[in-house]
Amino acid sequence: MIRWLAGRLLQTLATYALAVTLLFIMMRLTPGDPLAGLSDERPLPAEARELLRRRYRLDQPVLTQYADFLAGALRGDLGVSIAQHGRPVTALIRERLPATLLLGTTALAAMFGIGIAVGVLQATRAGSVTDRVLGILSLTAYATPSFWLGLVLTWALAIEWHWFPVAFMHAPLLDPDAGWWVRLTDLLWHLVLPVTTLTLVSFGAVARYQRAAMLEALGLGAIRTARTKGLRDRSILWHHAWRNSVGPMLALFGLWLPLVVAGSVFVESVYAWPGLGTLAAESIGSRDYPVIMGVAILVSAVVIGGNLLADLLHGWLDPRLRPSQ
Amino acid sequence: MTMLLAVRDLRVSFPGATGPVYPVDRVSFELARGETVALVGESGSGKSLTGMALLNLVPAPGEVAPGSSVSLEGTEILKLRGEPLRRIRGARIGMVFQDPLASLNPVISVGDQIRETIQAHLPLGRREARTRAEALLAEVGLAGTPEGYQRYPHQLSGGMRQRVMLAIALAAEPDLLIADEPTSALDVTVQAQILTLLEGLRRARGLTVLLITHDLGIVAGRTDRVLVMYAGRIVEAAPTAELFAHPAHPYTAGLLGSLPRLRGPRQPLRPIPGQVPSPGDWPAGCRFHPRCAKSFAPCREEPPIVEVAGGHHMRCWLGKSGDSA
Ligand SMILES: Nc1ncnc2c1ncn2[C@@H]1O[C@H](COP(=O)(O)OP(=O)(O)OP(=O)(O)O)[C@@H](O)[C@H]1O
Ligand SMILES: [Mg+2]
C-alpha cells in the first residue's frame, strides 16, 4: 500500500515537472514581446530596451532563464512582473487568489450538488417527462456561453430589479469599519450572480454523467439484492446505487477542480471579479512571462493534483481498485 | 401442516409487440411451513419471474397482472406498497440468486451487507447488529472475525460468495427462503457443499424453502415436493419420490430422460428436442404439444388438470385417456 502510494506520488511529481517544462518552452515559442506594451505603442529607445532586457534577464539564453525560474520557484520566489513594473509575482497571486478560491469553490460545490441531484432524479425517473424536461434544461444551460448568461443575469437581476449588485466583490461605499456580519453579507451578496452564472453553465455536464452512471448502477444485480433484502429506498438509492456510480463523477470532479484556482475569465470579466482568471488573461495578452508561469504552475499543480485526488478517492470508495496487500 | 404461502392464478405480463405476453401464466401452488419444494423447468419457463413475483419485485416493464394473488399467512403481498412491503422483503421472505458475484455489492464489505439487512428489520444498534453479522458469517462457514467481516466480494471464491448471499438472505430471520438456481454458477464440488449448507440452515431454522432449478439432479433426496414448470405454467406437481418413480407428464418424463444416471444400466441421454418457445409464441392448447412425442388430436385444446395419484397432479390430456404413466 505504502509502496503503491509512493509510486503514485513519484509519478505525479514527474508529470508535474514535465508539464512545467513544456509550459515554459511553449510560452517562449509563442511570438510576442513582453516589452512591447510598456511604452504605449511607441517604440522604446534602443538603450532603454537593453536596460529592461537586462533587468528582467531576457538577454540570457532561454535555458538559463528556465534554470533561474526553477531555482527561484523552489525557494518560493516566482520573479517579478514585467507589465506591472517589477511587482513580485507571488504578491500578485496572493492578492488575486482569495477571490478566485471563493468563487471557484462555491461554484464547484453548487454545480456538483445540483448536477448530482438532477442526474440521480433523472435516472430514477428515466424516460419520464421529468427526465426529459430536466435533460433539455441542463443541456440548454450547458450550451449557453457564460459571458452571455452573465450579461443577461446582470441586466435582469441587477440593473432592472436591483436584487443583486452589478459587479465587484464588495460594495465600493461600504464603511471600512463595518462589523464582520455586514461585511460577510455584503460579500455573499456580491457572490450570488457570479456563482449562479458559473453553476448554471456547468451543472449540465455533471447531471448528464450522473444520469448515465446512475442508470448503469441501478441495473446492477446488487440493487436487486438490496431490494429483496428489504432495505429502505434511501439506502438503496444512495448507499447501494450511487456509490456504484461515483467512478465517472470523481473523474469529472478531478477535471473540474482547477476551477478553484483558475477561475473563469469570462465570468470574472463580466462581474469585475478581482480573481486569478483575469490576471492570467491580462498577463498572456501582455506576454508577462513571470506572471504567466506563476499562474501556470499553480493551475497545473491543481490539474495534476485533482487527477491524483480523484484516483485516490476512487480507490478509497471502490475496494476493487485498491492495490492488493 | 400449516400453510405458509398460497399462490393463486399468478400472472406476470410484459408488453409485447402485439399486446401483453404472459411469461408466468396463472400459476397456483402452496407452500406448507417447513416444506422444501423444488420449482423445476427449462430455461425460459418462467421460474425466476415466479420467484420475484412472490416478493412483488417483478422487474419493469413487467408487472403482476390483476387477479393474481400471493398470500403469506393471509397477507396479500401483491397489494402491499411502501413500508409494509419492505417489512416482508428480507424479514419474512429471503432470496438468493444464481450469480453471487453480480448479486453482491462490490463496494460494501460483506459484513456490512449482512449488518444492514439486520438493521433494516430488527431494532438493533450498529454494534449488536455487527456481532450478529459475524455470528452469521461463522454459521455459513466463513471466518466470523473482524477480518472476515471486512472482506469484499471480489476477494472471495464463488462458493464463499454464495455463502455470504445465504447469510444475507437469512439475516433478518425470514420464514421462507427462495433460492433461485443457487448452485448453477458453481463447480460441482462446491455445488454439493452449498446444498449441504442450505440443508443444515433449513433444518436449524425450520425454514420453508422454494428451490428454483433447471437441474432435476439436485432435487432428489433434498426436497419434499416438486413443481414442474413449462412455458409459464405448472404442468406437474408431486411428492419428490413419487415424481421420480412415476413421472406422469411427458415433459417431466423428458426432463428425467435427459438426466445422466449414476445407477442402473447405462442409457444414452435423451434431451427433449427443441426449446421453450418465447412467451409471445406459445401454441394454443397444451403448450408442450409441438415438442411432445405423445401428442395427439386433443392436445390442441386446453388440457385438464388431473389427479394422477394422491397429491400428484398434472395438466395433460393423457391422464384423461387412461394412457398415462
Ligand atoms: N425483463 C424482461 N423483459 C421481457 N421479457 C422477459 C423479461 N424477463 C423475463 N422475460 C421473459 O420471461 C421468460 C421467463 O423468464 P424467467 O427468467 O422467469 O425464466 P427462467 O425459468 O428463470 O429461466 P432461466 O433458467 O433461464 O433462469 C423469459 O424467457 C423471457 O421471455
Ligand atoms: Mg431463472
Model confidence pLDDT, tens digit, residues A89-144: 999 999 999 999 999 999 999 999 999 999 999 999 999 999 999 999 999 999 98
Helix (H) or strand (E) run with residue A317 in it:
helix A289-317
Inform me whether the pLDDT recorded for A151 exceeds 70. yes
Q: Given this model, what pLDDT does residue A97 score? A: 92
Q: Given this model, what pLDDT does residue B321 score? A: 52
Inform me whether the pLDDT recorded for B203 exceeds 70. yes
Kindly give, in sequence order, each residue whose CB lies less than 8 Å from that of residue B305, ignoring residues fewer than 6 positions away: B313, B314, B315
Chain B residues in contact with A319 by the CB 8 A cut-off are: 106-107, 109, 152, 154-155
Q: Give the number of residues written for chain B.
A: 325
pLDDT band at B299 (very low <50, low <70, confident <90, very high): confident
Phi, psi values for residue B58, rounded to 5°:
-70, 130
Return the CA Rg of chain B: 21
- Whole-angstrom distance, CA of residue B209 vs CA of residue B224: 10
Parallel, antiparallel or unpaired: strands B208-213 and B176-180: parallel
Q: Is the CB of B41 under 6 A from ligand 1?
A: yes
What is the torsion angle, in degrees rounded to the nearest 10, for the CA atoms of residue B87, residue B90, residue B94 and residue B95? 110
- Whole-angstrom distance, CA of residue A322 vs CA of residue A299: 28
What is the amino acid identity at position B221? G
For residue B168, CA distances in Å to A222, B47, B54, B119, B251 come to 12, 22, 18, 12, 35
Residue range B226-253: average pLDDT? 94
- Whole-angstrom distance, CA of residue B218 vs CA of residue B222: 7
Write the burial class of residue A58 (CB in 10 Å: 0-12 exposed, 13-18 middle, 19+ buried): middle
Q: Do B108 and A240 touch (CB under 8 A)?
A: yes
Chain B residues in contact with A220 by the CB 8 A cut-off are: 102, 105
pLDDT band at B160 (very low <50, low <70, confident <90, very high): very high
Q: Given this model, what pLDDT does residue B261 score? A: 65
The 10s digit of each residue's pLDDT in A4-32 is: 889 889 999 999 999 999 999 888 888 87
SS3 of residue A116 by DSSP: helix
Nearest to A318 among B87, B107, B109 (CB): B107
Lowest-confidence pick of A119-123, B7-11, B88-92, B214-218: B214-218
Give B57 Cα–ligand 1 centroid separation in angstroms.
14
Is the separation of the CB atoms in B121 and B129 below 8 Å?
Answer: no
Residue range B69-97: average pLDDT? 95
Strands (E), chain B: 3-16, 19-32, 36-40, 63-64, 69-72, 75-76, 93-96, 176-180, 208-213, 225-230, 233-239, 305-309, 312-315
pLDDT band at A249 (very low <50, low <70, confident <90, very high): very high
Instruction: Quote the mean pLDDT of chain A.
Output: 89
- Whole-angstrom distance, CA of residue B269 vs CA of residue B256: 9
Q: Pick the residue with more confidence: A229 or B221?
A: A229
- Whole-angstrom distance, CA of residue B313 vs CA of residue B325: 12
Q: Given this model, what pLDDT does residue B323 score? A: 47
Cα–Cα–Cα angle for A230, A234, A235, rounded to 5 degrees: 60
Lowest-confidence pick of A311-325, B83-97, B221-235: A311-325
Q: Given this model, what pLDDT does residue A199 score? A: 93
| Mutate-to-test residue for ligand 1 from B13, B24, B25, B49, highest number of ligand atoms within 8 A of CB | B49
Interfacial residues of A (vs B; Cβ cutoff 8 Å): 220-222, 224-232, 235, 239-240, 243-244, 317-320
Is the separation of the CB atoms in B234 and B242 below 8 Å?
Answer: no
pLDDT band at B310 (very low <50, low <70, confident <90, very high): confident
Residue range B202-215: average pLDDT? 94
Give A33 Cα–ligand 2 centroid separation in angstroms.
73
Is the separation of the CB atoms in B101 and B153 below 8 Å?
Answer: yes
Closest ligand 1 atom number to CA of residue B41:
21
Q: Give the DSSP letter of residue A88.
A: B
**What whole-number percentage of chain A has pLDDT above 70?**
99
Is the separation of the CB atoms in A15 and A277 below 8 Å?
Answer: no
User: A248: cis peptide before it, omega within 30°?
Assistant: no
Instruction: Give the N- to C-terminal CA distance of chain B in Å, as an integer.
Output: 29
For residue A276, CA distances in Å to A106, A253, B126, B175 come to 15, 20, 48, 65
What is the amino acid identity at position A306? G
Q: Pick the residue with more confidence: B291 or B263?
A: B291
Residue B117 distance to chain A (closest CA, Å):
6
Lowest-confidence pick of A2-11, A166-175, A274-283: A166-175
Q: Indicate the CATH number of A102-282 among 3.80.30.20, 3.40.1360.10, 1.10.3720.10, 3.40.470.10.
A: 1.10.3720.10
Residue B107 distance to chain A (closest CA, Å):
5
Outline where chain B has alpha helix (H).
Answer: 47-54, 82-86, 100-103, 110-121, 126-139, 146-149, 158-170, 188-205, 240-245, 250-257, 318-321
Inform me whether the pLDDT recorded for B324 exceeds 50. no
Closest ligand 1 atom number to CA of residue B42:
25
**What whole-number percentage of chain A has pLDDT above 90?**
47
Q: Given this model, what pLDDT does residue A266 score? A: 86
pLDDT band at B265 (very low <50, low <70, confident <90, very high): low
Chain A residues in contact with B154 by the CB 8 A cut-off are: 319-320
- Whole-angstrom distance, CA of residue A146 vs CA of residue A64: 41
pTM for this entry? 0.88
The cell for B319 is 391422464
Q: Pick the residue with more confidence: B27 or A167?
A: B27
Is the separation of the CB atoms in A231 and A222 below 8 Å?
Answer: no
Other C-beta atoms lying within 10 Å of the C-beta of residue B266: 6
Q: Give the DSSP letter of residue A39.
A: G
Lowest-confidence pick of A187-191, A262-266, B24-28, B152-156: A262-266
Q: Is the CB of B232 under 6 A from ligand 1?
A: no
pLDDT band at A316 (very low <50, low <70, confident <90, very high): confident
Reference B224, options B12, B3, B34; nearest CA is: B34
The 10s digit of each residue's pLDDT in A29-86 is: 888 778 877 776 677 788 888 888 888 888 888 888 888 888 888 888 888 888 887 8
Reference B288, options B233, B248, B238; nearest CA is: B233
Other C-beta atoms lying within 10 Å of the C-beta of residue A194: 30
Residue range A169-179: average pLDDT? 79
Phi, psi values for residue B179, rounded to 5°:
-110, 105
Return the CA Rg of chain A: 24
Residue range A277-286: average pLDDT? 87
Parallel, antiparallel or unpaired: strands B208-213 and B93-96: unpaired
Inform me whether the pLDDT recorded for B262 exceeds 70. no
Residue nearest atom 14 in ligand 1 by C-alpha distance: B46
Beta bridge partners of B29: B7
Residue range A208-234: average pLDDT? 96
